[in-house]
Amino acid sequence: MLLLSIIVYLILTVVIGFWAARRVKTTGDFMLAGRSLPIVLSSAALFATWFGSETVFGASSQFLEGGLYAVIEDPFGASLCLFLFGLIYARRLYKMNLLTLGDFFKVRYNKTTELTASLFLALPYLGYIAAQLVAMGLILNVVVDIPLWQGVVISSVIVTLYTYAGGMWAISITDFFQSIIIILGMVVLAYILSEKAGGVSAVLREVPKEDLRFLPTFDLKEIAAYIAAWAVLGLGSLPSQDVFQRAMSSGSAKTAIWSCHIAALLYLTIAMLPLYISLCTKHLYPDQVAGDTQLTLPNMVLQHASMPVQILFFGSLLSAIMSTTSSAILAPAAIFSENLIKPLTKHRYTDRQFLVLTKICVILFAVMATIMACFRSNIYELVGESSILSLVSLFVPLTLGLYWKRANSKGALLSMVLGMITWIIFEAFETPWPSLIPATLVSLLGMIAAGYMWSEEREKAV
């Protein structure tokens, strides 16, 4: 019954994707849903951006092992990212009427900066997509008992199929339905387990005080690690194409701003539920937290929940992961076609040809991420690494490009390259300090130094 329900759900999702494909007439429709989404669809899409494998599998696993302090990165940092994007970035970027975030670096700086930035934008998505595919593979492994790599391949084919067909329209419409299932599934499961455990107070009484610690001690290294945890997703995902394209798909700048804020609040609220569910699981079924803690929740539901609850849980889990995966595949495909292939080939594509090219890139990134997912399986690490690369290379050029008049193309290039090199050096020597902090600071210093050293291209801040 559970397997049949999962199959029906997956087929229904693909059907919705193909139905949404009827709205795709141009590349703008495919990448940004024609910049016409109402606030309900836009908010759901932004909420679904983050609620994926790292929330249900990764964060709950980290929480069981290290308490609240171990999940600062997600969900707290992820919610911060959505809030800051709405507060600082959404209005200015929306008014620029860009197709991709890579276009910002072309318009604000020059084509060389566009090419460099686009490489840094697109490549980190491979790890992010791989993390989602691993999660879907784990679900199929638990439910159907097939090898992880087979589950990864099957999952990749399904998500790629409806993303290829309908682009951002398919993603937005499926996100809306998937968000409803996510919220319903998490709320129902949390309520059932809480009642069985004797209520919230009974569950929390067993949690050691150190597991509920939220702030660092007065130790310099610990404070640095704490700041880094907030920054990984909180700042590192600000220069990301998936957040950009979901916000820019809104019908207006005001809708984009409010959608970000609504999604941030909704995500922080709903993302607490997997953490609480993991506590209930530890209270009721302590044997389930042994071994791979990434599998704690699905194994517990499969072994101890009724069939309706199993269907609802795995339906919400698949919804969460599929919604995140689809946009993660479309994001680098859009960057790669618009900001790398198009300028490098110097071919004058018709809109129809360019749409086909973007769809080919969707398949390309899906295949590469599938291969990566077959060799790596730590979801939390895959997600964190992809955001760190964006932080140390793109955060400074994007932010100062929007707000600092002295920002120029030499500074942007210097900032990206120096930030990445510094991060690689600190990672190679394994210092006790989080590598992203010195890398981001060097990136900032490179941008500021170039702004005062070279004054021939004082483009105005947007």
DSSP letter for each residue of 346-411: T----HHHHHHHHHHHHHHHHHHHHHHHTT---HHHHHHHHHHHHHHHHHHHHHHHHH-TT--HHH
458 occurs within a structural domain: no
Q: What is the pLDDT of residue 291?
A: 64
Query: And the tokens for 272?
Result: 């607490």
In a domain, 250, yes or no: yes
Give the mean pLDDT of the chain. 87
- CA dist 90 and 253 (Å) reads 7
Give me the number of domains the chain comprises.
1
Tokens representing 266 are: 């909704």
Q: What would the DSSP string read from start to end of 150-195?
A: HHHHHHHHHHHHHHHHHHHHHHHHHHHHHHHHHHHHHHHHHHHHHH
Q: State the helix-helix crossing angle for 111-122 and 101-108, rounded to 10 degrees.
A: 160
pLDDT at 10: 81
Residue 459 located in a structural domain: no
Give domain status of residue 461, yes or no.
no
pLDDT band at 386 (very low <50, low <70, confident <90, very high): low
**pLDDT average, residue stretch 217-227:** 90
CA distances for 337 relative to 50, 205, 358, angstroms: 24, 53, 5
> What per-residue confidence (pLDDT) applies to 460?
47
**Has residue 377 got a pLDDT over 70?**
no
Residue 278 included in any domain: yes
Q: 51 lies in a domain?
A: yes
Q: How confident is the model at residue 100 (pLDDT cuts 50, 70, 90)?
A: very high
The answer, yes or no, to whether residue 319 has pLDDT greater than 60, is: yes
Task: Concatenate the DSSP letters of all residues of 300-345 into one string.
Answer: HHHHHS-HHHHHHHHHHHHHHHHHHHHHHHHHHHHHIIIIIIHHHH
Q: Is 462 a domain residue?
A: no
Give the per-residue pLDDT at 149: 86
52's tokens: 């994926």
Q: Is the pLDDT of residue 425 over 90?
A: yes
- 231: domain CATH number? 1.20.1730.10
Helix 148-197 with 241-248: angle, nearest 10 deg: 70
Q: Which pLDDT tens digit goes with each residue over 256-279?
A: 999 999 999 999 999 999 899 889
Q: 431 falls in which pLDDT band (50, 70, 90)?
A: confident
Average confidence (pLDDT) over 416-429: 94
Q: Which amino acid is at 366?
A: A
| Residue 460 per-residue DSSP state | P
Query: Residues 232-254: what's their mean pLDDT?
Result: 93
Whether the pLDDT of residue 457 is over 80: the answer is no
Contact at 8 Å (CB) between 51 and 185? no
The dihedral built from the CA positions of residue 156, 161, 167 and 171, taken in this order, carries a sign that is: negative
323-368 confidence digits (pLDDT tens):
788 888 999 999 999 999 999 888 888 999 999 999 999 999 999 9
In this predicted model, which residue has the larger pLDDT, 77 or 209?
77
**283 in Cβ contact with 202 (< 8 Å):** yes
* Residue 274 φ/ψ, nearest 5 degrees: -60, -35
| Residues spanned by the domain of 159 | 2-453
Select the more confidently predicted residue: 319 or 24.
Answer: 24
**pLDDT band at 381; cut points 50, 70, 90:** low
Is 460 among the domain residues? no
